Amino acid sequence: MSHKNTPLRGKTVLLVGASGGIGQALAIQLDKLGATLMLTGRNVNTLQPLAASLQHSPHCVIADLATDIGRENLLSALPHALYGVIFAAGLNDFSLLQQQAPAKITQLFTLNVLMPIFLTQALLPKLMPDGRLLYIGSSLGAIGYPGYAAYGASKAALRNFVQALKRELADQPLQLCHIAPRATQTEMNSATVQQMNQQLGSKTDSPIWVASHIIQQLLAPKMQDVDLGYPEKLFIKINAVFPNIVDSSLRKQLPLIKHFADKHDLVFNTGE
């Protein structure tokens, strides 16, 4: 495949969280578009085979970006002119708040909120003037959903961060956007969560489909925030104006959610 006329040819894109399900799908699609890829993730056993499968050899940095050392290692490996950064790293945890360990809550906020904030702050001087920053959030950051109080709060913080930073940089050509998928078919969702989603009738999307919508914004003349999936995108709008309607709908699901939360907690604690 020729990349002479592809929009990303010769442009360096940093993919944060490349070893995850959405991250891997993004890497494959970006590679096909001719981007010069910088891949970073924590899982070397996933990242190295991914890099070997691509048409063009990416530069890989194995790092835990939730730590100062990990971020420093990544920054020292980056070129001076980055065109795009896609923040696809994240951590999920399905649990009722009373059953959730404080350390897990700290971990959620460290990876989902503090890491992208600290890394963005460090990357801004390295971005091209017309560079692009894309942040992968979650529909649960706009819909308070039982079993995801801490996770949803962390994703709500990310959503607000992107909105505020976009307004802060509105007088510059640099573009930012927030993309919120609903449940996605990745290892981030345990077998218990997948079973619960099936019984609730909640739809899930493939990582390839989600990645295609992220790429669509990366290539758009003017990037826009996007909530992916119906009816979730409708619920987000309703929840912002008439939250009582969403309260009533989720109240009916609560017994089933609590059942699976107890089941999930039992499996987690016994190591099954």
pLDDT digits (tens, 9 = 90+) for 49-71: 999 999 999 999 999 999 999 99
Which residue stretches of 33-171 are H helix?
A: 44-53, 68-77, 102-109, 115-123, 149-168
Asked if residues 158 and 135 have their Cβ atoms less than 8 Å apart, the reply is: yes
Among residues 144, 126, 135, the alpha carbon closest in space to that of 163 is found at: 135
Question: Domain of 138: which CATH number?
Answer: 3.40.50.720
For residue 37, the SS3 value is: strand
Number of domains in the chain: 1
Specify if 2 maps to a domain: no
Count of residues making up the chain:
272
pLDDT digits (tens, 9 = 90+) for 219-255: 999 999 999 998 889 999 999 999 999 999 999 999 9
At 189 the pLDDT is 73
pTM: 0.92
5 belongs to a structural domain = no
81 within some domain: yes
Question: Which residues, including other chains, have CB under 8 Å from residue 220's CB and lie 6 or more apart?
Answer: none
- Residue 125 belongs to a domain: yes
Residue 7 lies in a domain: no
Q: Give the domain range for residue 109.
A: 12-270
For residues 44-48, give the mean pLDDT.
Answer: 91
- Residues 12 and 83: beta-carbon distance below 8 Å: yes
Residue 126 pLDDT > 90: yes
Check residue 2 and give its pLDDT: 43
**Residue 193 located in a structural domain:** yes
DSSP per-residue codes, 171-190: TSS-EEEEEE--SBSSTTS-
Residue 6 binned pLDDT confidence (cut-offs 50, 70, 90): confident
pLDDT tens digits, 164-210: 999 999 999 999 999 999 988 877 777 888 889 888 888 889 999 99
Flag whether 199 is in a domain. Answer: yes
pLDDT tens figures, 85-108: 999 999 999 999 999 999 999 999
Indicate whether 124 belongs to any domain: yes
The CA-based angle 155-58-169, given to 5 degrees, is 40
